[in-house]
Homo-oligomer: A and B are copies of this chain.
Amino acid sequence: MITKLDSSQADFKQRLDTLLAFEASTDDAIESAVSGILADVKKRGDAAVLEYTNRFDRLPNGGATSMAALDVSQEELQAALAAIPEAQRKALEVAAQRVRAFHERQKQELNGFTYTEADGTVLGQRVTPLDRVGIYVPGGKAAYPSSVLMNAIPAHVAGVEEIIMVVPTPDGVKNQMVFAAAAIAGVTRVITIGGAQAVAALAHGTLTIQAVDKIVGPGNAYVAAAKRRVFGVVGIDMIAGPSEILIVCDGTTDPDWVAMDLFSQAEHDELAQAILLCPDADYIARVEASIARLLPTMPRQDVIRTSLGDRGALIKVRDMDEACAIANSIAAEHLEISAVDPQQWADKIRHAGAMFLGRFSSESLGDYCCGPNHVLPTSRTARFSSPLGVYDFQKRSSIIHVSEAGAQTLGKVAAELAYGEGLQAHARSAELRLK
C-alpha cells in the first residue's frame, strides 16, 4: 500500500518529485466568498461579524445578540482550567513551562545593538515587540490546545501586550481544554468567532475589536484565503501546507517505533506526508511489516492508510550520506534522524524545520512539550523560512544618529551617488549639511 522507491532507479528523481509535488489549489468559490465577507466586515463591522458567526457556527437559541456575548471572560478561562482533569492540566502546565523556557532563549538572542564610530556617529538596531496580535484557533474537531500554547507563548515572551485569540464554537460547543490552554498561555482576550469574518475583524478592526498588527495560527481554506488577502494590512505567519515527516534511519531503531512515527504524521490528515529514507533494504521490509501489523490497531487507521498510500514512501538509499543529500532537497518540516551518533548526519543537514536527533526524539514529543515550536515551515519552505518564534512577534528599527563631523564625510559620498542616480534633492539634502 505504501510506495517503495530506490534511489538507484533511473527515474528516481522524477518519481520523488512527483511524490513531493503539492500545489495548494485556489478555489474560486472560496475566494469569492471570502472576498465578500472581508468587504462586508470592513464596511459594517460588528453587525456583519455577528451575522456571519450566528449563521456559519449555527449558534444555538437563536444565536448571539451582541458582540459582548461572544467574549469569554478571564473567569470562564480560569474555570475551564479548574474543570479539566488534573492530569491534563498538569500536562498543559509542564508543556507551557517548557515552551516558555525555550522561547526565552530566543528572546535573549535578539537584543538589538548600537555602536559609535570615531566621529561620534551612532548606528544601531532596536528590537521592539508588536503592540497587538491575533491568534486564530480552529474550532470543532481540529481544536488543539497545544496550538494555543505554541502560538500564544512566543507572543507573550516577545512582550506583546494584547494577545487576542479567536476560536469559533460550532453549534455553541466550547472546548474546555482550549480555554484552559489560553488561561495558561497569557492570552489577554478570547472571542468565540472564526472563519474569514474573524480574520476580517482582527485585520480591519470593528467597534468592539481593535485592529491587530499580525494574525497567526492555522485555519481551514476560508481562513487561509482571508489571511492571504489581508496580508500587508497586517502581518501573517506562513500559510501552512499539509504536515510532513521525513525519517532518516540507519536501521538500528526498533521498526515499530519508526512505523508509529510515520503514523503520527499520517494521522493528521489524508494529505499529510510520511517518508522513510534508509540504506538497509531488510530494515525497510521490517518497517513495512510493522506498519501492516500496527495499522489495524490505530483508531485513525483510515486516515493513516490513505495518507501513507497516497503520499507516503519507504525509500532505499545508497548510504546515509545520500539520505542527508535527499533530506536537504526535501527540506522537510519534521526531520527525524533515527541513528547511532545522529549528530554526524545532522551536521550535513542544511534545510529542515525541526530536527529530531536520536531514536528517543520522536516528533510527537516535539509536537507537545520539548519546548521548540511545533509551527514549522512545510512544503519545502524550510529552504527559506523558520519555525514560529519570538522573532515573529518582534520587529527591528534602524537607528541612525549622524554627528556633525560624520555628516561631512558621509554627505559627500551620498551626494556623489545621488547625482549618479539622478536624485538631486537627495544630493542637496546631504550637501546642505556640509560646512
User: Which A115-147 residues have C-beta < 8 A from chain B?
Assistant: 115, 121-123, 125-126, 128, 130-131, 141, 144-146
Q: A37 vs B236: C-alpha distance in the bound complex, in angstroms?
A: 27
Residue of B nearest to A342 (CB): B401
A-B contact pairs, 11 of them (CB 8 A): A126-B355, A254-B432, A264-B428, A267-B426, A299-B424, A304-B425, A342-B401, A360-B407, A361-B401, A365-B414, A372-B398
Q: Does A279 contact B (CB under 8 A)?
A: no
Asked if B410 and A365 make an inter-chain contact with CB atoms under 8 angstroms apart, the answer reads: yes
Q: A401 vs B105: C-alpha distance in the bound complex, in angstroms?
A: 17
Q: Footprint of B on A, CB under 8 Å? A: 24, 87-88, 90-92, 94-95, 102, 105-106, 109-113, 115, 121-123, 125-126, 128, 130-131, 141, 144-146, 177, 213-214, 232, 234-235, 239, 254, 256-257, 260-261, 263-264, 266-268, 298-300, 304, 342-343, 346, 349-373, 376-377, 379, 381-387, 389, 391, 395-404, 406-407, 410-414, 416-418, 420-430, 432-433
Q: Report the minimum CB–CB distance from A427 to chain B (whole Å).
A: 7
Q: Report the minimum CB–CB distance from A300 to chain B (whole Å).
A: 6
Asked if B432 and A260 make an inter-chain contact with CB atoms under 8 angstroms apart, the answer reads: yes
Q: Which of B353, B401, B413, B424 contacts A300 (CB 8 A)?
A: B424
Q: Please name all residues of chain B whose beta carbon is closer than 8 Å to the beta carbon of A433 when the two chains form the complex.
A: 257, 359-360, 362, 365
Q: A413 vs B389: C-alpha distance in the bound complex, in angstroms?
A: 22
Q: Which of B87, B268, B298, B300 contacts A416 (CB 8 A)?
A: B87
Q: Please name all residues of chain B whose beta carbon is closer than 8 Å to the beta carbon of A403 when the two chains form the complex.
A: 360
Q: Which of B214, B361, B396, B416 contacts A88 (CB 8 A)?
A: B416
Q: Report the minimum CB–CB distance from A80 to chain B (whole Å).
A: 13
Asked if A425 and B264 make an inter-chain contact with CB atoms under 8 angstroms apart, the answer reads: yes
Q: Report the minimum CB–CB distance from A163 to chain B (whole Å).
A: 14
Q: A113 vs B403: C-alpha distance in the bound complex, in angstroms?
A: 36
Q: A354 vs B125: C-alpha distance in the bound complex, in angstroms?
A: 9
Asked if A423 and B355 make an inter-chain contact with CB atoms under 8 angstroms apart, the answer reads: no
Q: A368 vs B429: C-alpha distance in the bound complex, in angstroms?
A: 12
Q: Please name all residues of chain B whose beta carbon is closer than 8 Å to the beta carbon of A266 when the two chains form the complex.
A: 425
Q: Which of B112, B123, B368 contacts A102 (CB 8 A)?
A: B123
Q: Please name all residues of chain B whose beta carbon is closer than 8 Å to the beta carbon of A364 when the two chains form the complex.
A: 414, 418, 425-427, 429-430
Q: Which of B177, B232, B235, B239 contacts A232 (CB 8 A)?
A: B239
6 shortest interchain CB distances as A-B pairs: A235-B384, A372-B398, A263-B425, A91-B416, A354-B398, A386-B396
Q: A357 vs B399: C-alpha distance in the bound complex, in angstroms?
A: 7
Asked if B102 and A414 make an inter-chain contact with CB atoms under 8 angstroms apart, the answer reads: no
